[in-house]
Amino acid sequence: MTSVDPAAPPSGPATLPLSEAKARIIDAAAALFAEHGVGGTSLQMIADAIGVTKAAVYHQFKTKDEIVIAAAQAELDRLTAAIEAAEAIMYADGGAGRAREVLVTRIVALAVERRRMESTLTGDPVLVRYFASHAPFRAIMERLYRILAGEDGGPEARTRAAMLTAAIGGAVMHPLVADLDDDVLRAHLLHLARRFLDLPE
């Protein structure tokens, strides 16, 4: 039915490992971002957290944005892994339905697992702008939507995909479900997401 993609399914091996100094910085930065938000975290705070000066941090990353992006990249890699798992099924034979099932399950799990950080990742203007404009991210999103919406890139399919990803990402950080255990939240989220996609229960 669906003709094979001209290009082989991409299998990008995530990102290159970081230097020691860089790794320490993004570790500290990620923790601070989650607590104070990106805008509320200064280079000074990051430097203090690992016991160096601002300039030392600046030497590793030329701008604050670079730190933010590097910290987000690790999360993006996990999403990429989920997409590739779903693509593997789709390109093999599992069919679009099964691929969607796997993708949604993993995205829900990811979102719940990261529910405290999620607001930092999806809510920050710096990241939004960066991700919206940078090609690699757009390519990943393209693959994600292709699985969710199928070859049919019609308005309704695209709207549905947009709603679903927004629903999952936005719901986990919603005050209304703040008191739910991770397991409970994940179960309901998954159930409703599958229903939204007309996947069999």
Partner DNA sequence: GTCTATACGCGGATAGAC
Partner DNA sequence: GTCTATCCGCGTATAGAC
Q: Which residues bind DNA (CB under 7 A)?
A: 19-21, 41-45, 47, 51-56, 58-60, 62-65
Count of residues binding a second copy (CB under 8 A)? 46
User: In the 8-state DSSP scheme, what is residue 11?
Assistant: -
User: In the 8-state DSSP scheme, what is residue 36?
Assistant: H
Please list, residue by residue across 47-73, b when 16 or more beta carbons sit within 10 angstroms of its beta carbon and e when fewer do. Answer: bebeebeeeebeebbeebeebbbbbbb
Residues between 147 and 166 that touch a second copy (CB under 8 A): 149, 155-156, 158-166
Cβ atoms within 10 Å of 128's Cβ, excluding its own: 12
Cβ atoms within 10 Å of 165's Cβ, excluding its own: 19
User: In the 8-state DSSP scheme, what is residue 27?
Assistant: H
- Binds a second copy by CB under 8 A, chosen from 81, 132, 136, 151: 132
CA distance 2 to 192: 27
Q: Which is nearer to a second copy, 31 or 141 (CB)?
A: 141
Residues between 21 and 40 that touch a second copy (CB under 8 A): 37-40
Query: Could you say whether residue 18 binds a second copy (CB under 8 A)?
Result: no
Tell me the closest approach of the beta carbon of residue 114 to DNA, in angstroms. Answer: 23
Query: Could you say whether residue 105 binds a second copy (CB under 8 A)?
Result: no
Tell me which residues touch a second copy (CB under 8 A).
Answer: 37-40, 119, 122-126, 128-129, 132, 138, 141, 145, 149, 155-156, 158-171, 174-177, 180, 184-185, 188-189, 191-193, 196
